[in-house]
Structure 1
Amino acid sequence: MALDSCAINVCPAIAVRSSIGVEVWSCESTNLQYEYKPNLPKEDSRNCRSISFSSDGRSFAYSNGNEIKVINTKDWTIKCTLPRPKAFYLKFSPLGNYLSTWELYTVTKDKPEGSPNMFIYELSSGLQMFDVVQKNQTDWEPSWSSDESLFAIVIGGEALFYDVSGDSKNFSHSTRKIGGSRGAVVSLSPGACPPCVAVYTPGSKGGPSMCKLYKYPSLSPNQAIACKSFFQADRVELLWNKRGSGVLLLTSTEVDKSGASYYGNQALHFMATKGDSCSVPLSKEGPVHCVKWSPKATEFVVVYGFMPSKAALYNLKCDVVFDFGEGPRNCAYFNPFGNLVALAGFGNLPGNVEIWDIKKKEKLTDIKCPDTTYFEWSPNGVYFITATTAPRLRIGNGFKVYHYSGSLVHETIWPQGQELLGIEWQKFPENQFAEPIITKVKPEGIKSSLPEASKKAYTPPHLRMIKEGKDPDKFLPRSQINSNAQPGFPVGRKGGLKTNASKANRIKNKKDLAVGNDAGPATSGEKNFKNGAPSNNDELNQPHRKLKVTKQTNDDNIQDGQKPVNKKVNNPEKEKKIRHVAKKLSDIKKLKLRQEQGETLELNQLNKISMEAKFLEELKFLKLTT
């Protein structure tokens, strides 16, 4: 399939990390059939933990369990190697001159206080320039200015600034600092230099949390150019637009005291470097699933609210420019030019992907990409990649490349016995590609080799029989027919549903009992029930005892000559079981939401999630037999 005109001369490579090593794949300039080629880097090691391209795509780094290799992508030769065998995360500085690495924090008998686990290396010399202890796995990396003359990092609650411009690069001592408290966050704006600085300080002793904007190097408390305070904020995520003219603050609390949300309260605020600040209005209650700035820096999209969630496009005044409506979504991704946005529902959602034309405010396509754990737009803004990776999902690993129209143009299914752990598209400098012209033409694609998921809702076997007019009792094994109990039913009640045939037999037997006739041998499951529960009467529980029952005023008995009336009866034991199963399903739903947000669950929690189908069927049984 031919590439669009904007990508004729350049085909972005793809870095692949799997359970057997690291490879770089490429494709011909006339198609998108990616494959490994002998001239590209390849590392056979089961200990490869991280891959990363620099923001301009000129460098590629990966760890192999022995060292970090940094490769020049112009000719795919090794630029330098770094002695960090335990490196877990890698992060390039904005211009690609430095590489930050992080590894798990550990303590030993010799060093109970621990050793530095975050390092900064200069790639031109391969020398270590900076090291520090960073215990947290999140927000470990330093924040750089766009020209790499300054970087900032929070250590011990203080925001420290290091000026590394010029020949005398001072990595050993900070040049400025702002006092804060535990949990503080600092972020330098992209764009113009010197940068603006956002500093978040969590509240203490009942006081509000605070975020202030400064213009570096003016960092005195009275020199803040904007300030925003809020009470409900245990943590915050700072999101700058591309120009560095505004920052979004996604705040959240650990616990929602009102009980409305399992994940606590969330709110979204906006601060501009001109001094303005406001709260972003959200028209539906529920969590904020995703916030993304457009690369054009003048708009941002928010996906929020209880499912089905809402999605809306906002301008810099925090006014809604366009409402995308409701749907099963929790993610948003702009292409590199900001003229397309993908709204998707991954994790515990079915994998719907909507592609919207931002200029025309219309939906171009709606496809399903189930089991997606990774999504990324190509640097040319025309294609996107979806992948199913481990350890999130250990089966069905592989990746696919789509045209924005929804056409599948490439597919790679991972071999059995191997796992796809990570994938990343090579990046390119700005202006490498022209902004694509969006049309409704759908190019010819390929057909997926994977079987399509059935669009029909799952129907358990016993319900299928009912739809076909069959009595499920006739298809039960003899051992089950003679059994007095099955999972999901009260003790003494036969498993199976009230089909027309079995219901008619029970009515006939009740009539015989009501008029004092011989009931005959009682079969399993035809025992008398009083108020919806098994009777404790020994005579009624004897399967081969002939019984005579006189007429009673009880509503459950059928009087002589009267038509039987189906009347719902209260069964405390059954209601208790229903509440118990419903609570388990509610717990599973909460666990899946935590898993969707990237939290690592314990083995027993994962086992509980795997029992969801069983509990759903059990609940259905209980309700059908109420």
Structure 2
Amino acid sequence: MAVEGISPALAIRSGTGVEFWALTNGKLPYAPNSSLPREESKNCRAIVFSSDGRYAAFANGSAVKIIATSDWKVICSLPRPKAFHLKFSPRGNFLVTWELFTITKDKPEGAPNQYVYEVATGEEVFSLIQKKQSEWEPCWSADESLFALMIGGEAHFYELKGKEGFATSTNKLGSGRNGVLSIAPGQCPPHLAFYVPGAKGAPSMCKIYRYPALQQNQTIACKSFFQADRVEMMWNKRGTGLLLLTSTEVDQTGASYYGKQALHFMSTKGDSFAVQLGKEGPIHSVTWSPKSTEFVVVYGYMPAKATLFNLKCDIIFDFGEASRNCSYFNDFGNLLILAGFGNLRGYVEVWDMNRRKQISSMQAPDSTLLEWCPTGETFVTATTAPRLRIANGFKVWHYSGALLHETLWPQGQELLEVMWQKFGEGVFKENPITDVKVEGIKSSQPEASKQVYQPPNVRLMKEGRLSGNGDVEQQPIIPGLPPGYTGQKNTSSNSNRQKKSRKKKENKNSEAGSKQAAPKGANRQPQQQSQQQETDTNEQANSAGDNNSKQIKEQAKPQHRNAQKNRKNMHVSLPPTGDPEKDQKMRNIAKRLQDIAKLKTKQSKGERLEANQMAKIATENALIEELNSLKLAS
């Protein structure tokens, strides 16, 4: 775990305060750091480490405190009680804070809500009004010689030679059309990408420059595309390749429920490609390898595909299909995690990227975050609020699948965030990956059932209890719901009434047949009697058959009405879990499954379905898994 006595700490933010956990004398389990008592507060909104791990900062609702991790002592306290987001500069010399923009009677135009502080002294060196929370982070060059941010849709650049460089901007880029700026890591002076959304039929545009050459005729690469309301720009670690994930809120063609998405690649050599994906559906995750020569994409309707691409956007390796929507490389790029969280069951795969081989798998249900340790051999998963407010806690795993540590948060308290202490390059070395499983501990949480869901008719058939007269319990209309939601009580009652009615009718028919079996003069005309008896018996049988048919039809009417009533009330018949948010989510899923059942009924009758209806049917398995996981967690 530790290298030369160095062991990464875990920073934990909860509803009761901030604390740091570490190994005890370099050995498991993790425990609260005795060098730094827990910061008690119910208003801890943010916590962050510097990229080299020298500093940690957190907002406790009354101030922002900066800690030196060498001795875990507070080095300065910043007067920012409303701070909501925190971010260190690349080398940890500055700390940026952001808080919600407000207007008061004294300041109708508002006051600055974004600040830059010098870490060593705690001195404020820059402030401005930044209303957008989604794009609040400023941009830095890797050596902190360049500071840039968006102001009114225009990029402003500050060349820093000490803290005096914040006084005035030295360069600008953009035309005020809500552009997006991203500065590449790596070499300096840096490359930068500037995205401008399309307007009035014009396409959106992304251009790559190398600072300070920012003129229109000085672009290194240029890429235009339509159908891009938003863009997410992702540089590789070396700053030589850029991935652009574009998306729209709504797919105008109706082909996708999730809107329109596309993935593009640009390089500082001037290349640009559209990444071709081999399956329809949303793009769940895009992740660069730390080696900067390849990236992985998880995409498509469930079960989703995962594919590894090179810098020419050619396919290197296909990981196949599974229930997954996340991807995580460790710091060395030799291990990759593919996982399914959120509405999926938390299945985790670990792949050896050198051998292109899956080496382990495990279940981490209800996980809301996953992060690799800087050592590259372990990772942490956690169940946190506000995503999930029950069964909060975190676990530390070895890449071989062994559970090394587990902490369940006290009932009634909320765990908000867990993160590893960062370290600079060269502190930890890449170790060879083996197939040997490390010995771990057994989780104290009950394991979810591994049985595959089977409809009731399949289960009854396997148990030998499925008869041909329709006297079994009615199978659920919506897969994934217990049989109690389909009105089986009424169905059973109707079936019993049908049995009694049939038996009573048979007794009446038997009595009527015996009275007509011996007519007058039967001893004088035995042959005539026999023929007459046969005729009467046939007429009685036909009459009885007609009466039974009418009786069954009459009895089927209330049964049909009960089934219709049950189908209408099905989505509100779910048992309460005690969590209103979870109850509402379960009802919504039941309603969507009911819609899917109706579409499948139409499909079975030969009706032609639209593309969006087929896409909705394709989500059935994922919805069933989500519903089952919610019921298991209740």
**Could you say whether these structures have the same fold, taking a TM-score greater than 0.5 normalized by the shorter chain as the test?**
yes
In structure 2, what residue type is equivalent to 1:608?
A: Q
CA contact (8 A) 1:212 1:224 kept: yes
Match of 1:169, SS? Answer: helix
CA contact (8 A) 2:35 2:71 kept: no
Q: Which moved more, 1:142-151 or 1:252-261?
A: 252-261
Change (3 A) 1:259 1:579: farther
Change (3 A) 1:96 1:278: same
Shift of 1:124: 1.8
2:435 pairs with 1:443: no
Superposition map of 1:509-588 within 5 A: 509=501, 558=549
2:327 pairs with 1:325: no
2:173 pairs with 1:197: no
2:346 pairs with 1:370: no
Q: CA RMSD in A?
A: 4.1
- Look up the match of 1:137: 133
Q: Which moved more, 1:193-202 or 1:98-107?
A: 98-107
CA contact (8 A) 1:303 1:311 kept: yes
CA contact (8 A) 1:198 1:212 kept: yes
CA distance in 1, matches of 2:588, 2:464: 27
| 1:496 aligned to which of 474, 489, 501 | 489
CA distance in 2, matches of 1:511, 1:567: 17
Shift of 1:342: 0.2
CA distance in 2, matches of 1:357, 1:568: 62
Change (3 A) 1:30 1:180: same
- Cα deviation 1:101-143 (Å, max 9, x = unaligned): 1111222233333222111111122111121222222121101
- Cα deviation 1:124-177 (Å, max 9, x = unaligned): 22111121222222121101100001011111111111111x247321321111
- Look up the match of 1:262: 257
Shift of 1:443: 1.1
CA distance in 2, matches of 1:383, 1:578: 48
CA distance in 2, matches of 1:438, 1:238: 32
Q: Which moved more, 1:149-158 or 1:447-456?
A: 447-456
Decide which structure has the larger Cα Rg and report it: 2
In structure 2, what residue type is equivalent to 1:104?
A: L
CA distance in 2, matches of 1:512, 1:619: 42
Match of 1:51, SS? Answer: strand
CA contact (8 A) 2:491 2:559 kept: no
CA distance in 1, matches of 2:295, 2:597: 46
TM-score, scaled to structure 1: 0.80
Change (3 A) 1:354 1:79: same
Shift of 1:287: 0.7
2:147 pairs with 1:151: yes
Superposition map of 1:266-281 within 5 A: 266-281=261-276
In structure 2, what residue type is equivalent to 1:174?
A: S
CA distance in 2, matches of 1:248, 1:172: 33
Q: Which moved more, 1:200-209 or 1:506-515?
A: 506-515
Change (3 A) 1:572 1:193: farther
Change (3 A) 1:194 1:474: closer
- Look up the match of 1:506: 498
Shift of 1:178: 1.1
Superposition map of 1:110-509 within 5 A: 110-164=106-160, 166-167=161-162, 169-456=164-451, 495-496=488-489, 498=491, 503=495, 506=498, 509=501
CA distance in 2, matches of 1:229, 1:299: 23
CA distance in 1, matches of 2:456, 2:16: 41
Shift of 1:206: 1.3
CA contact (8 A) 1:380 1:436 kept: no
Match of 1:34, SS? Answer: strand
- Look up the match of 1:609: 585
Change (3 A) 1:168 1:40: closer
Change (3 A) 1:150 1:102: same
In structure 2, what residue type is equivalent to 1:60?
A: A
CA contact (8 A) 2:490 2:559 kept: no
Change (3 A) 1:612 1:95: same
- Cα deviation 1:277-334 (Å, max 9, x = unaligned): 0101100011111101000000101001111111011110111100001111110000
Match of 1:496, SS? Answer: helix
CA contact (8 A) 1:211 1:229 kept: yes
- Which blocks of at least 5 consecutive residues in structure 2 are unaligned? 474-482, 511-541, 602-634
CA contact (8 A) 1:142 1:151 kept: yes
- Cα deviation 1:66-91 (Å, max 9, x = unaligned): 11110111111122111100111111
| 1:98 aligned to which of 78, 84, 94 | 94
Match of 2:585, SS? Answer: helix
Identity %: 53
Shift of 1:615: 5.3
CA contact (8 A) 1:8 1:29 kept: no
CA distance in 1, matches of 2:242, 2:59: 33
Match of 2:24, SS? Answer: coil
CA distance in 1, matches of 2:566, 2:193: 53
Shift of 1:558: 2.4
Shift of 1:437: 0.7
- Look up the match of 2:75: 79
CA distance in 1, matches of 2:339, 2:471: 44
CA distance in 2, matches of 1:575, 1:502: 15
In structure 2, what residue type is equivalent to 1:313?
A: L
Shift of 1:26: 1.0
Change (3 A) 1:284 1:579: farther
In structure 1, what residue type is equivalent to 2:549?
A: I
CA contact (8 A) 1:551 1:559 kept: no
- Cα deviation 1:198-228 (Å, max 9, x = unaligned): 0000001111000000010000111111000
In structure 1, what residue type is equivalent to 2:587?
A: M
- Cα deviation 1:527-564 (Å, max 9, x = unaligned): xxxxxxxxxxxxxxxxxxxxxxx96999x96289xx99
CA contact (8 A) 1:487 1:618 kept: no
- Look up the match of 1:89: 85
Change (3 A) 1:65 1:187: same
Change (3 A) 1:321 1:99: same
In structure 2, what residue type is equivalent to 1:610?
A: M
Shift of 1:262: 2.6
CA distance in 1, matches of 2:106, 2:594: 55
CA contact (8 A) 1:335 1:377 kept: yes
- Could you say which structure has the higher helix fraction? 2
CA contact (8 A) 1:511 1:558 kept: no
CA distance in 2, matches of 1:577, 1:181: 57
Match of 2:501, SS? Answer: helix
Change (3 A) 1:289 1:397: same
CA distance in 2, matches of 1:308, 1:289: 12
In structure 1, what residue type is equivalent to 2:282?
A: P
TM-score, scaled to structure 2: 0.79
Change (3 A) 1:209 1:605: farther
CA contact (8 A) 1:10 1:29 kept: no
- Which blocks of at least 5 consecutive residues in structure 1 are unaligned? 476-485, 519-549, 589-602
CA distance in 2, matches of 1:327, 1:92: 37
